[in-house]
Structure 1
Amino acid sequence: MEIIADNEPDIERAKRLLKWFHDEVPHNDAPNIDTLNAISIIDSYRSNRHAHGCYPLSIAMNEVFLDMGFQPRTVICFSGRYPSPEDGHVINSVFIPSLQKWAYMDPQDNAYVTDEHNNLLSIAEVRQSLIDNKPLKLNADANYHGKADDIKDYLYTFMAKHLFRIICPLNSEFGSQTRTKGKVLHYVELLPVGIKDTEVDGFETNVNLKIGVQVITCHTNNEQLFWKKP
């Protein structure tokens, strides 16, 4: 990875790391492996061609960014109908020091988003632009399983639906999302003003007695606090 991204401006480093990981580990909606960290996720594909869903891909991408000196976050995105069977998507947000802002990054699709002037956008800016119907652009090499992304399908339909509930692990560190006995996982969730907390699901406060894992989730409507600079 040092060869891929060393000695470049931070924006280009982040983009090149995104593409490297996207090419390194392909997407497939397969069951999660037990150990969710970048080493296990990458090795499981290299050794037995086990491709991964968007959640493991985001976890591994997060840890790749961490290893390369960035401050990233795994970002779990759900619709307003979750936890009904409406699926979801998991992407990344990486802080770009030169821009002093978070940037939207999707390792599943090798996707990042810009405005009409090619300024890299954050998840919050993408969400607000969708609400305001402002023009958005995807990078030309964004793709799903090798097929170029259609911006209307990807952004204006799929992501527009899922940028409603946004959840992040409170701690962005190696191995933080592997659920082992006795572990306590902390999350923070951004909810639109006036929306009630959801029913219990895997990312809401609960105790899973079967595997001995406790989840504690705090909720906020404060977007500025949620996206506070590191």
Structure 2
Amino acid sequence: MMDTTSLAAGWAVVILGAALQAATGLGGGLVMVPLLALVDPMLVPGPLILSALSLNSLMVYRGRHEVAFGSLWPIIIGMVVGAGAAWPLLSYMEGPETQLIFGLMVLAAVGISVCGWSPRVTGRSMVIAGVVSAFMGTTAAIGGPILALLYQRCSGPEMRATLAGLFFVGSLIILVILGERGRLGLPEFAAALLLIPGWLAGYWLAGPIARRLDAGHTRAVVLIIAGGSSLWLVARGVRAILDGMG
């Protein structure tokens, strides 16, 4: 059980990340994963993913009239395939080289998008995005930016609600994998319950930010967050490789 100081620090981190996630549709993990690991390593990944279900549920309910339901099933099918492909490879792909490669892939996609290109939302692209997102999310914990790049031309409310629905399903898939690997038990469930108030507070704070972003700034923020996520992953991979060589 966390002490009072750790709990307060954990809430502060989750509030910040949840506000970012609820306002933009992604990016919460970029803030929370490294900071929560410093507060208490047992908070990631299981408790964080479990508690995040509360925010995703609220976002889907709030944006239930905006969700692009037609694109959910192709992506979900792709996510199941991607997670299934990653599952037996986890022990081989958890190294820094994988983080570096995936980070560079996302960074390249962001760079192309900044130049004006964006993927067409078709059945094929949705399935591919689902496969890649789940594969990268399972092996390197960075699946969100791929989906966000697919929806970068959508309105803010549609993108936030749709991504929340996809993240909810993706989280359930990852939780199943964590459970099978013995990394999801009663201590993780108890810690997740303690984090939920932070998610709710962040959701409440995100409203004014989301309204400002909806005034034509959503795509720019998505590209910034996706780029930041990829740079963080590249830096983490390079650092791990250099430490291994030292």
Normalized per residue, which structure has more helix?
2
Structure 1 length normalisation: TM-score? Answer: 0.29
Q: Which has the higher relative contact order, 1 or 2, with Cα contacts under 8 A spaced 6 or more apart?
A: 2
Structure 2 length normalisation: TM-score? Answer: 0.28
